[in-house]
């Protein structure tokens, strides 16, 4: 298993480990252990080893290491990497020209000292919550390979959860970071809409798309986000100075139904630790989820319509049909969805005049089985693929930052069929308050209320 972000960067800075040796070890780990996980689509061996050798030479010459010195990472296969075709998980893009430069987010991480080593599996064109890809196969959950990893950034979450990589990059339109982070038991961040650059990232629905990192601890996630959020790497470590006395409330109503009993208990413990019983019921949550569906379908469908007209057979049939349906939506409902979105966003932003943090579940419970991908909602079985975003999709409309955090390992109820599978929550803050979220995450992890160890893989 690879070391965490901070631990590995400190070893590189102290010269107790050579970057080249660390990168070789990571590449070897991926080669030996990903075959049953299927999180990785391409290994960037030549580029990674050349970057490692250059960084070793720089450090040996007395150069000042960056905050992510020598740390390997992987990227969801919709980030541009110079010289490589960006497939966005689809055979439809297999013959497009290679990227001429790295995505800006990757450039920022490299400036901080990190080294890209792999591209990672995803739902085709980021349209899904399960990472079952007709072209690249299914990514398994490292805690139980018979279960879903979540998506669409499933390879990004699973590679970190399995200890193949210290951190990774994913994207989140309606929950594609938060859902797999929850199911795989890692930390993930959906930043404020527009906070991180999308240059060189293949789009899905531009008015909702965000990118963000995955890591195994809140402190590691904080360090990576700091590098992503600026063109000038900062060497100062994360602190807890942004927490103070926070006004915390739980989202009720829609967000309090259909919860796994251990998830309910974990949220209750968090509320008790924060010294509050305050519950907020957001207005019109079901309409918000419907609006997110409409906007995503319409924008995604229209983005792909020209290619669908000429090369529809190159798409996964399930993705193709949803994109075509979205492209055929009449303008009226889509316009109404955007109008509703503005109203809903203002309603949530208004709540942050009285509260600093909102707590909600990330998914209703643990990862469903691949062979029986079903959730039980209101006593009825429903398809997991369409409903794993039940709690993430409405929040996406508001454009606010959301930290997906794993609950500690639970003493599961004796009647549950999923012993010790991860459960995750969302911590939600006002726009621009990522530092507050991450600092709170660090504090709650140290208190033992959030966080869980990596999967025992393989």
Q: What are the catalytic residues?
A: 76, 152, 176
* Contact by Cβ (8 Å): 172, 200: no
344 half-sphere exposure, CB direction, 13 A CA radius? 26
Q: Which residues of 71-90 are buried (b: 16+ CB within 10 A; e: fewer)?
A: bbbbbbbbbbbeebbbbbbb
C-alpha to C-alpha distance for 419 and 412, rounded to whole angstroms: 6
Task: Outline where DSSP puts E strands in 349-455.
Answer: 357-361, 374-377, 380-383, 402-406, 424-428
Contact 34, 160 (CB under 8 A): no
HSE (side-chain half, CA atoms, 13 Å) at 347: 16
Candidates 112, 109, 81, 108; CA nearest to 12 is 112
In Å, what is the CA distance from 139 to each residue of 33, 123, 127, 224, 394? 13, 10, 15, 24, 26
Q: Please count the helices (runs of H) and the strands (runs of E) in the chain.
A: 14, 17
Separation in Å, CA 123 to CA 73, 205, 319, 426: 20, 14, 9, 22
């Amino acid at each position: 298993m690879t070391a965490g972000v901070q631990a590995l960067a400190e070893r590189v800075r102290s010269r107790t480990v050579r970057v080249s040796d660390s990168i070789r070890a990571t590449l070897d780990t991926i080669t030996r252990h990903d075959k049953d996980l299927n999180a990785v689509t391409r290994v960037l061996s030549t580029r990674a080893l050349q970057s490692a050798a250059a960084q070793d030479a720089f450090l040996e010459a007395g150069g000042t290491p960056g905050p992510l010195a020598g740390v390997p990472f992987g990227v969801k296969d919709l980030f541009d990497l110079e010289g490589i075709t960006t497939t966005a998980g689809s055979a439809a893009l297999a013959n497009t020209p290679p990227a001429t430069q790295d995505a800006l987010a990757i450039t920022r991480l490299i400036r901080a000292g990190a080294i890209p080593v792999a591209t990672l599996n995803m739902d085709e064109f980021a349209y899904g919550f399960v990472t079952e890809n007709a072209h690249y196969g299914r990514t398994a959950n490292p805690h139980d390979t018979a279960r879903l990893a979540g998506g669409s950034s499933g390879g990004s979450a699973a590679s970190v959860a399995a200890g193949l990589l210290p951190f990774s990059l994913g994207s989140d339109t309606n929950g594609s970071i938060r859902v797999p982070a929850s199911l795989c038991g890692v930390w993930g961040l959906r930043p404020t809409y527009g906070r991180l650059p999308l240059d060189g990232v293949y789009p899905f629905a531009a008015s909702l798309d965000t990118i963000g990192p995955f890591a195994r601890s809140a402190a590691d996630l904080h360090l990576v986000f700091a590098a992503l959020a600026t063109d000038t790497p900062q060497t100062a470590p994360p602190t807890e100075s942004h927490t103070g006395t926070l006004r915390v409330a739980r989202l009720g109503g829609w967000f309090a139904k259909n919860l796994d009993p251990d998830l309910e208990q974990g949220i209750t413990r968090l509320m008790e630790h924060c010294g509050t019983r305050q519950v907020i019921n957001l207005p019109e949550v079901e309409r918000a989820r419907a609006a997110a569906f409409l906007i995503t379908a319409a924008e995604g469908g229209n983005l792909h319509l020209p290619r669908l007209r000429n090369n529809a057979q190159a798409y996964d049939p399930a993705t193709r049909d949803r994109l075509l349906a979205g492209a055929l939506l009449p303008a009226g409902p889509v316009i109404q969805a955007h109008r509703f979105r503005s109203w809903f966003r203002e309603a949530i932003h208004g709540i942050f005049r009285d509260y600093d943090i909102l707590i909600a579940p990330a998914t209703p419970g643990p990862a469903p089985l691949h062979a029986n991908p079903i959730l039980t909602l209101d006593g009825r079985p429903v398809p997991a693929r369409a409903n794993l975003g039940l709690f993430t999709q409405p929040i996406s409309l508001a454009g606010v930052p959301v930290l997906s955090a794993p609950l500690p390992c639970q003493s599961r109820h004796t009647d549950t069929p999923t012993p010790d599978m991860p459960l995750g929550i969302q911590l939600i803050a006002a726009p621009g308050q990522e530092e507050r979220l991450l600092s709170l995450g660090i504090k709650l992890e140290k208190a033992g209320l959030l966080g869980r160890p990596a999967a025992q893989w393989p």
